[in-house]
Structure 1
């Protein structure tokens, strides 16, 4: 597991999930997320299976990307950050999103829960829901 101190990071997780061609999806998910993981994006909850479906979809439409963490805070098993994701989709569309993330780690240092709000900074309006697309 890629970690800082005793837990994974959003940078490590998103790099493995979306930006490391050839890394098996189940391996990437298991590395950074607990079996009972759940996520709320822009108000909609997803369990781990729905999250994996979301990542599988993104792997099919994202050709490349970068991630920049602007601020990050950890307190015990809680984390918060503000990061920007820039992606180029396989159709050439460029999308830039800012994400406000609040999360909880399990005892193993993997994410147990993430709640996030996304803000489309650049790209077509149709990409506004990219953070939860399936």
Structure 2
């Protein structure tokens, strides 16, 4: 049974809080958008919530600013899918642009419990190719 009174998060809100909003801590952003049992597969590699947060901490250390543009977004019950582009300018001044194809699942409270995504680098250096899953 699907509940219609639960507000779900979305990728724009989640990525903005995680990467682009210095006013919110990483833990606050994660708790707002990701369930405790969250796990993610990016380009074939699985990460649990702790590994995912290690990845985001690394990105926070290298990203200066950026934006998220959602091209398509679908929600049906507990399922979520989108295609979005993330553009970031790193602290070294270089720009990385990645298109992401994402399928996800919501926990009963509306936070993400699982995301599986494939990334396609549109702009950036060869060293940035793994930015979607890089850790320190």
TM-score of the superposed pair, with normalisation by structure 2: 0.94
1:6, 1:15 → 2: CA distance?
17
2:68, 2:26 → 1: CA distance?
19
Query: What is the root-mean-square deviation in Å for CA atoms of aligned residues?
Result: 0.7
1:123, 1:35 → 2: CA distance?
32
Residue matched to 2:3: none
Structure 1 SS opposite 2:93: coil
Residue matched to 1:115: 116
Residue matched to 1:72: 73
The correspondence of residues 1-20 of structure 1 with structure 2, limited to 5 A, is 6-20=7-21
1:109, 1:14 → 2: CA distance?
16
Deviations 1:3-40 (A, max 9, x none): xx620000000000001013111010000000000000
Residue matched to 1:96: 97
Answer with 18-27 or 58-67: which moved more.
Answer: 18-27
TM-score of the superposed pair, with normalisation by structure 1: 0.95
Deviations 1:74-98 (A, max 9, x none): 1110010000000000011100000
For structure 1, the residue ranges without an aligned partner over 5 or more in a row are: none
Structure 1 segments (4+ residues) deviating >4 Å: none
1:22, 1:8 → 2: CA distance?
19
For structure 2, the residue ranges without an aligned partner over 5 or more in a row are: 1-5
